[in-house]
Amino acid sequence: MAPEFQGSAMSDENVPVIVGTGQLVDRDADVDRFIEPVEMLATVATKAAEASGAGDAILKSLDTIALVETVGWHPDNPVDLVSARIEATPSGQYVTGTGGQAGTMLVNRIANEIVQGRYSSALVAGCNNLKVLMKARSVGKRLVWTRGGKGQAVMIGNDEPGNNELESLYGLEDPPDVYPLFENAMRASLGLSIEEHNQGIGRLFTRFTEVAADNPYAWFPTRRSAEELITVTPSNRMIAFPYPKYLNSILNTEQAAGVLICSLAHAKRLGVPDHRMVFWRGGASSNEEPWWVSERPDYTDCPAMRDTHVSALANAGLNVSDIDHFDFYSCFPVAVEMACKVLDLSIDDPRGFTVTGGLPYAGGPASAYTLHSLSEMTEKIVRNKGGSGMVTGNGWHLTKHAATILSGEPGEEPREGLIDDLPARPKGKEVDLSASGEGTIEAYTVSYDREGMPTRGIVLGRTERDQRFLANTPTDIDLLNSFVTEEQVGATGKLSSVEGKTIYEP
């Protein structure tokens, strides 16, 4: 028998359960042979319906479809296109903007709508088609993807840019150039040498490769040793210090994932087997304040991540010690380290921190990755006939956060949102555009070109007047090479203005 919900004020009509998941990977896709986005999404929806045991009946009963943004695909209404493919007629139609938190955020939103009695059956899906898209652009070929769609879906969440003009001026534009700032600051706060820390993040992510190697939907199902991950070679070139290629998420993949969420009562009406029902226990979402990386008060902490993760657990009525499986968003090692820090977990925790293999190895970055981790977490709980799991996501530069708690057992009253009585967040530090004199480094990195040569040093720190500065170093190759051989956090140097930009010189 399916477990009855124990909450006194709740009925089965208001209890969210994930009843089916579907995933797809197309490693051999090319510009002349590919699966377009709408077909990918319809395929994972059909696979999820089959996994649920309810088949086409569950698709025909959908009253909601919510899609994570697909980069490069801009139909008028993607939800309408997918609905037509799977013969669904949802009244609720939702889409998101860009962000690695989007999948978890959507599942939380839809599950909460079920708790409130507004919906009873939903598909949440997303896909990533950047391998073919980028290849087509490089050869000047136009891809023929289905466009159009009637009506208009409602946008959930925000879609602000991840950086401002000032940050772009200094090279803080893309995640591979930004996350190393946090990593280097984290290393210094731990009192580790560069070599000790590199070994640590290598050991952390070699465990991720082991999980990816056993995941049939992983983009790179390959085991790699810690040394292989951190050693710079022609095939593992340095991207931005201290991350070689193997420690960066893989962007250009062809993947899709989707989950079917129903009320417990609707699942029973459709005849979903008891063992397929995985309970949504709670979730939360929050954004860092300030939004811009250059203004963050502390590069070794993420208050909004802490608030989100702590709230999700509290909403589920669980402690972190109650969680059997984690999938922390893993675009770069520091994202996992930060999640461990805010939850007071050792990075050597035997439970591990991924069920997919993570973004550098399982793939599926952009905005849809967490639908893969939610799918894997659901199936893990089904296979184990119980247990609990925590799935997290973050967007932009440790900026937007979301967390979801799943379990084989119902809780008392599932909730979504931040809890009360969270600690006050520290205020940000606005960048001093005329910084001069002596500056002390708080975070830094060096970017590299495709030939492995250092091109630019990026520094964030405090002036003598305790104001934030953002600067580049001189572009001298010898200086940049020496800049990454010794710890720079806490070092001081001279700040000056050159052609309208602040330059930090050791």
* Pair 271, 277: CB distance under 8 Å: no
Answer whether residue 130 shows pLDDT above 80: yes
Provide mean pLDDT across the span 354-365: 94
Answer whether residue 433 shows pLDDT above 70: yes
pLDDT digits (tens, 9 = 90+) for 409-427: 999 899 999 999 999 999 9
Provide mean pLDDT across the span 283-295: 97
pLDDT band at 31 (very low <50, low <70, confident <90, very high): very high
Provide mean pLDDT across the span 300-309: 98
130 contact partners, CB below 8 Å, separation of at least 6: 71, 72, 251, 252, 253, 254, 366
In terms of Cα–Cα distance, which of 442, 450, 440, 418 is closest to 493?
440
pLDDT at 9: 57
Q: What is the DSSP letter of 231?
A: S
Provide mean pLDDT across the span 484-490: 97
Answer whether residue 379 shows pLDDT above 50: yes
Helices (H), 332-449: 333-342, 369-383
In terms of Cα–Cα distance, which of 375, 389, 379 is closest to 323?
389
Average pLDDT value over all residues in the chain: 96
pLDDT at 1: 38
pLDDT digits (tens, 9 = 90+) for 5-15: 444 458 999 99
pLDDT band at 33 (very low <50, low <70, confident <90, very high): very high
- SS3 labels along 8-24: CCCCHHHCEEEEEEEEE
pLDDT at 159: 81
Provide mean pLDDT across the span 274-297: 97
Give the integer Cα–Cα distance in Å for 427 and 425.
7
pLDDT digits (tens, 9 = 90+) for 454-473: 999 999 999 999 999 999 99
Mind listing the domains of the chain with CATH numbers?
12-158+250-416 (3.40.47.10), 437-505 (2.40.50.840)
For 53, left (φ over 0), alpha (ψ -120 to 50), or beta?
A: left
Answer whether residue 232 shows pLDDT above 80: yes
Answer whether residue 207 shows pLDDT above 80: yes
Peptide bond into 297 cis (omega under 30): no
Instruction: Supply the pTM of this predicted model.
Output: 0.95
Answer whether residue 4 shows pLDDT above 60: no
pLDDT digits (tens, 9 = 90+) for 155-201: 998 788 999 999 999 999 999 999 999 999 999 999 999 999 999 99
pLDDT band at 3 (very low <50, low <70, confident <90, very high): very low
pLDDT at 462: 97
pLDDT band at 395 (very low <50, low <70, confident <90, very high): very high
pLDDT at 157: 84
Answer whether residue 116 shows pLDDT above 70: yes
* Three-class SS state of 189: helix
